[in-house]
Amino acid sequence: MTPTLTAAMALQDGLVELRRAIHAEPELGLHLPLTQEKVLASLRGLPLEITTGKALSSVTAVLNGSRPGPTVLLRADMDALPLEEQADVEFRSTRGGVMHACGHDLHTAMLVGAARLLSESDFPGSVIFMFQPGEEGYAGAKMMIDEGVLEATWQKPVAAFALHVIPALPHGLVTCKGGPILAAADTVSVRVRGLGGHSSTPHQTRDPIPPACEMVTALQTYVTRAFDVFDPVVLTIGSFHSGHAPNIIPDDVTFTGTIRSFSPESQRRIEAGFHQVVNGVAAAHGVAVEIDYRQDYPVTVNDPGEAEFLGGAVRDLLGADRYRDLPVPLPGSEDFSFVLGSVPGALALISACPPDQDETTLPDIHSAEAVFDDSALARGSAIYAELALKRLNRV
């Protein structure tokens, strides 16, 4: 066992306590006062320069090494999801309809552990610990960038790293890849406006339902014909609402959905194509249409060199059998993409599958039944710390 991992294992009990305290009191969005206070309390006494956010309850902590050098950024997200927890754990959420179903409670505890490990280490340069609210759809990372997290040491980081737990990975494994690792995420809402009336006389109306249905079908066909299968686009319409009675043609239809893409070019092209398809169908049917298209998160693109460095560091720390290259990107999205758009770095996935469970049948992230293995905490803390130490000493 390496010295960093040995030191991390000594912190395990405290990390479990912190993670479970955060899990029991989850908070949504950008304002997480209870979580922020837990983080600040856990960092108290360490030789850190700490600032908190203005527009969001973030925590930025800077640790300066014993001699001049570059800066490395380590990031953890802290917010929960609007889910009623169904997992049978003793520390389950005490707040109705809110749950840490994406593992951000583990990420936060891991980064606290890394701060403790690095506070006892000798290294050149500085480390920025980025504790971020609002990852789940609020672009909290972008807001922290706007508030200056990348300039917290008065020099831009040379590298940035983040970990994300995932139950659907065999126990103890870490995986990563260079290039795109997670998809861009766009959100769409369409309102089709026609003219309602009696169902027996549709010729006297402009029924919005058939063109809306045609739009959904045409969009599904469009993405299969306009985009390379090796640079795919995934379009899903998740809601479709209209009318309230079987014999009334409604005035309008509303449908919403999400779009995932794996390159900046495809993200740009699908927005233009979406408008073209929807407007074309609307014109053919003589109905009006209103489109709200929002690009939420860009593609999460790992720097190939930093991803390779991360893989080597994990192999050195945990053993060669504990690291596996990720063969293809995943269709989830992450607002760490905003950090990686400014700083070379990498996001890696770390298993949180309990050792006695089958990762292929375990509920995955964003499930109300999701369960995460606490033993990932020490490993994650050690990985964060090892990445910072090796990267700062490499420059």
Question: Quick one: which of 100, 27, 97 has its CA closest to 57?
Answer: 27
Q: What is the pLDDT of residue 15?
A: 97
Q: What is the pLDDT of residue 395?
A: 58
> Which residues neighbour 70 within 8 Å (Cβ) at sequence distance 6 or greater?
124, 125, 126, 155, 157, 158, 392, 395
d(C-alpha 331, C-alpha 346), whole Å: 17
Q: Using alpha carbons only, give the angle 107, 108, 110 rounded to the nearest 5 degrees.
A: 65
Q: Which CATH number applies to 184-297: 3.30.70.360, 3.30.43.10, 3.10.20.90, 3.40.50.10860?
A: 3.30.70.360
Cα end-to-end span (Å), the chain: 26
Domain 3-181+299-394 CATH superfamily: Zn peptidases (3.40.630.10)
What's the full length of the chain, in residues?
A: 395
> Which residues neighbour 91 within 8 Å (Cβ) at sequence distance 6 or greater?
20, 21, 23, 24
d(C-alpha 153, C-alpha 334), whole Å: 25
Burial code (b: 16+ CB inside 10 Å, e: under 16) for 153-182 equals beeebbbbbbbbbbbbbebbbbbbbbebbb
**In contact, 143 and 60? CB cutoff 8 Å:** no
**Which residue blocks in 134-208 are alpha helix, DSSP H?**
140-146
Task: Report phi then psi at 303, rounded to 5.
Answer: -65, 125
* Helix, strand, coil percentages in the chain from 3-state DSSP, rounded to 5: 35, 25, 35
**In contact, 310 and 176? CB cutoff 8 Å:** yes
**In contact, 260 and 181? CB cutoff 8 Å:** no
Q: What is the pLDDT of residue 358?
A: 83
Phi-psi region for residue 35, left (φ > 0), alpha (ψ -120 to 50) or beta?
alpha
For residue 140 the two structure tokens come to: 């909290």
Phi-psi region for residue 115, left (φ > 0), alpha (ψ -120 to 50) or beta?
alpha
Q: What is the pLDDT of residue 1?
A: 74
Running along the chain, 395 residues long, what does each successive block of 10 average in pLDDT? 90 97 98 98 97 97 96 98 92 95 97 98 97 96 98 96 94 96 97 97 96 98 95 96 96 97 96 98 98 96 98 96 95 96 98 87 89 95 98 85
Domain residue spans in the chain? 3-181+299-394, 184-297
Q: Is the pTM of this model over 0.75?
A: yes
Q: What is the pLDDT of residue 126?
A: 98
